[in-house]
Chain A
């Protein structure tokens, strides 16, 4: 990318840099051996980028995903999200960042089976402390955005795979996060539905949403404008694609 900041420890990221990872490492102490899942990853992602992270299993992409998603903290290095240095935050603060800044989309949807679509989408707003009425309005609006305005009272088992993933996307969007973070979002879907979901992502991206997607499928990664490939805990390639 042309406008990448030359970031040094102690700097502050430029305002339009949403994600800034600087020499991130993550090591796991597995008792007998030390597993170095990330060995110094530096990545910058700007507002409204659509990035796919690829790599074989064991390359560290899940670890990077967890760090970007604030589910984990790095062993060393800096991680800035939307102008905030989150690499050293405590548990509860990370929870707040996850709630406000990140919209997760999982491979297995992770919807609450007993709750209807509306309640599933409401969840992040509950933890944000929003009052019930505005919560319901916001959740309904998010469901409409993904084309499920007429399925709000359906339970997950009354929805198709594609519809479930749409509910999950609505849930990810409802708090208007800085980034939409998708982990193999089409891993459990057939190819037609996958294309449909990729269409939803493309549309969100067109509306200005920053999207980061972890996948191991070439043709899914092809939907992104930029592909970062990891290998052995390091960035192997980082290239923009012709849209």
Chain B
């Protein structure tokens, strides 16, 4: 009997016993659905991390000179204390690097803190105030929706102008035109000259609650002590040039701080790699835990299928006897029951794939987690489904194939 025939027969049997089949494919269904959903979340977050997260926090081909790394998960207290003892980054450090680099780069100063911004009787709390130099917008890839960014001239002379994040503009001005109006930051009036395009959110954190002002404007005293920077941002044209710029910057800083060759850096040149390494760690854990869950549900699914198939063999002993008397060989019977268990598993996998994709779309829409379906997970779902059907179908099928036709025919 050709396999196709066996498969057709199997589908017929499945359709004839919808309820029983429905239960029997539940395990595989859950296994495959969770496989696809989990993989898709990991996949989505992964792409997000590498493409958007890193870009948003750092910018492409960009490094930051900082006292300590920006992204610092799971750091012991002793390290924190060591970091806190380090000297801070000064305006003069930034100037020195800017003048010392031979690689073409774009640079910006950056210092930030949480403040309240007011306009008339309206106020926006917990807004990230960033005092930055004019190229900050380019490095962070912040596009201006209306108005303009501030200029280098405005930055150097410390003119009190402000570029608002989308959420801040909406909060303070609603439908009104914000350009040219004065908002107050720390009691000082700042003229709004631009609003940045809507940025959305990052893993659930809103990205539009910020105000950018010139680094040398009066607000500089709100974000840091005089002459101190949070970070000095350096953007190169390529990864190679960024590496080169980093090593030059490292040399400049080490000599400025009089570090001997054996002494460690007391500053960091931070890139998106740190974030990505952290994410890689999480995704590695996911990749270890997730298969466990999936394997457990697939094994349960397989055992259910095996049980159902053993029941089917018992129920259909006469049929097997008859088929054998009509000329079915052992392998024909084996194939028939294998096809049946595989069909159950594949139908379960198919529903699982549909549900997994549905779940993925839902998660992507409703939750802050970005999720996108991975084609590999769908293929794996089908393969695992069929594999479970075959693996757990072998025992019942071989029991059926070994039945003695005489006893099988005599069975009531």
Q: What residues make up the interface of A, taking CB atoms closer than 8 Å to B?
A: 66, 69, 71-72, 91-92, 95-96, 98-100, 104, 106, 110, 112, 114, 123-124, 126-129, 171, 175
> Which of A72, A129, A171 is in CB contact (< 8 Å) with B326?
A171
Tell me the smallest distance from the CB of B32 to a CB of chain A, in Å: 28
Q: Known contacts A112-B319, A123-B323, A126-B1; is A95 also within 8 Å of B328 by CB?
A: yes
Which of B1, B318, B323, B325 meets A71, CB within 8 Å? B325
> How near does chain A come to B7, taking the closest CB pair, in angstroms?
13
Query: With A71-B405, A112-B319 in contact, is A126–B5 under 8 Å at CB?
Result: yes
- Inter-chain contact B318/A91, CB cutoff 8 Å: no
* Contact A71 B406, CB 8 Å, known A112-B319, A127-B332: yes
For chain B, the bracket of interface size reads: 20 to 34
Contacts A69-B325, A124-B327; is A110 near B318 (CB within 8 Å)? yes
Whether a CB of chain A sits under 8 angstroms from the CB of B224 is no
Q: With A72-B406, A106-B409, A126-B1 known to touch, is A114 a contact of B326 (CB < 8 Å)?
A: no
Which residues of B from 309 to 329 have beta carbons under 8 Å from A?
Answer: 318-319, 322-329
With a CB–CB cut-off of 8 A, which chain A residues contact B323?
Answer: 123, 127
* A92, B327: Cβ atoms closer than 8 Å: no
Q: Which 6 A-B pairs have CB atoms at the shortest separation, nearest pair first?
A: A99-B327, A127-B327, A95-B329, A110-B322, A124-B326, A92-B329
**Using Cβ atoms and an 8 Å threshold, which residues of chain B touch A106?**
322, 409
Within B185-202, which residues are at the interface with A (CB < 8 Å)? none
**A85: min CB distance to chain B, Å:** 19
A95 contact set on B, CB distance < 8 A? 324, 327-330, 332
Contact A100 B327 (CB under 8 A): yes
- Complex interface: chain B residues within 8 A of A69 (CB): 325
- With a cutoff of 8 Å between Cβ atoms, the chain B residues found around residue A114 in the complex are 12-13, 16
Chain B at the A interface: mostly helix, strand, loop or mixed? helix
Residues of A within 8 A of B322 (CB): 106, 110, 112
A contact residues around B405 at 8 Å (CB): 71
Besides A95-B330, A98-B324, 13 other A-B contacts (C-beta < 8 A): A71-B325, A92-B329, A92-B330, A92-B331, A95-B327, A95-B332, A99-B326, A104-B325, A110-B318, A110-B322, A114-B13, A127-B323, A127-B326
Contacts A71-B405, A110-B409, A123-B323 known; A91 to B12 CB distance under 8 Å?
no
- Give the residues in chain B near A128, CB-CB below 8 Å: 327
Q: Report whether A66 and B406 are in contact in the complex, using a CB–CB cutoff of 8 Å.
A: yes
Separation of A104 and B332 alpha carbons in the complex (Å): 19
Given A66-B406, A110-B409, also A96-B318 (CB < 8 A)? no
- Name 5 interchain pairs, CB-CB below 8 A, sorted by A: A71-B405, A91-B330, A95-B327, A98-B327, A175-B327
Docked Cα-Cα span, A175 to B322, in Å, equals: 15
Residue of B nearest to A174 (CB): B326
Give per-residue flags for B1-26: 1 if the beta carbon is below 8 A from chain A beta carbons, else 0: 11001000000110010000000000
Residues from 9 to 53 in B contacting A, C-beta threshold 8 Å: 12-13, 16
- B316's nearest neighbour on chain A, judged by CB, is A112
- Nearest CB of chain B from residue A178's CB, rounded to whole Å: 13
- Which chain B residues in 55-76 approach chain A with CB under 8 Å? none
B17, closest chain A residue (CB): A114
Residue among B2, B323, B330 facing the most chain A CB atoms (10 A cut-off): B323
Report how far A96 CA is from B330 CA in the complex, Å. 11
Question: Cα distance A96–B327 when bound, in Å?
Answer: 6
Most buried by B among A123, A126, A128: A126
In the bound complex, CA of A123 to CA of B323 (Å): 8
Residues of A within 8 Å of B331, CB to CB, are 92
Interface string of B368-412 (1 = CB under 8 A from A): 000000000000000000000000000000000000011001000
Q: Which residue of B lies closest to A115 (CB)?
A: B12
Nearest residue (CB) in A for B2 is: A129
Q: Which residues of B, 288-346, contact A by the 8 Å Cβ criterion?
A: 318-319, 322-332
Instruction: Using known A-B contacts A71-B405, A106-B409, A110-B409, determine if residue A123 contacts B326 with beta carbons closer than 8 Å.
Output: yes
Give the docked Cα–Cα distance between A66 and B404 (Å): 12
Which of B12, B319, B326 lies at the interface centre, i.e. has the most chain A CB atoms within 10 A of its CB?
Answer: B326
Q: Give A72 to B407 CA distance when docked, in angstroms.
A: 11
Chain A hits for B330, CB < 8 A: 91-92, 95
User: Nearest chain-B residue to A69 (Cβ)?
Assistant: B325
B407 to chain A, nearest CB (A): 10
The one of B1, B12, B329, B409 that contacts A96, using a Cβ cutoff of 8 Å: B329
CB of B409, distance to nearest CB on chain A (Å): 7
Q: Which residues of A contact B326 (CB under 8 A)?
A: 98-99, 104, 123-124, 127, 171
The residues of B that contact A127 with a CB separation of less than 8 Å are 1, 323, 326-329, 332
Instruction: Report the separation of the CA atoms of residues A104 and B409 in the bound assembly, to the nearest whole angstrom.
Output: 12
In chain B, positions 78-103 with a C-beta closer than 8 Å to chain A are none
